[in-house]
Amino acid sequence: MKTELIAETWDALGSAQREFVEAFYRRFFERYPDYRPLFPLELNPRHLEKMVQTMALVANLSDDRSSIAPHMHKVGQAHKAYGLTARDFDNFKRTFLELLGERLGRKWSAEAEKAWNDAFDAVLVPLMREGLGRQ
């Protein structure tokens, strides 16, 4: 996995990371209105901040996934109430990558997309699901 491309593209957002996360949720809810009622009417700033922090951790992902495992297990546990399926995670990933590509313009590439895609499929989602499986 080309982890340096993940770091480069996330860092390229710079101070727009927080706004990116807000825009991500707007698009996520637009595309999948059924998810909207799971979230509070007004998104909690702490939730948005945690999302930015989580993505920063992912951006610093090395080939050693153990560095982010404890955090991702906790994030997974925080999703227990929602009964998420593989399709839900996939919807999240697709929306996230689509918007990241739009925001980065020429800084985005098929290689960067693959790196993020692999990070979701091989690391992020499996770790969250491990967390979901715990009491």
Question: CA–CA separation, 112 vs 64, rounded Å?
Answer: 19
| 68 near ligand HEM, judged by CB under 6 A | no
Please name the residues in contact with 122: beta carbons below 8 A apart, sequence gap of 6 or more: 1
Q: Which is nearer to ligand HEM, 112 or 123 (CB)?
A: 123
Whether the Cβ atoms of residue 68 and residue 123 lie closer than 8 Å to each other: yes
Stretch that binds ligand HEM, among 3-11, 16-24, 47-55, 62-70 (CB under 6 A): 47-55
Whether the Cβ atoms of residue 29 and residue 11 lie closer than 8 Å to each other: no
Binding residue for ligand HEM, selected from 39, 65, 97, 130, defined by CB under 6 A: 39
| 50 near ligand HEM, judged by CB under 6 A | yes
| 121 near ligand HEM, judged by CB under 6 A | no
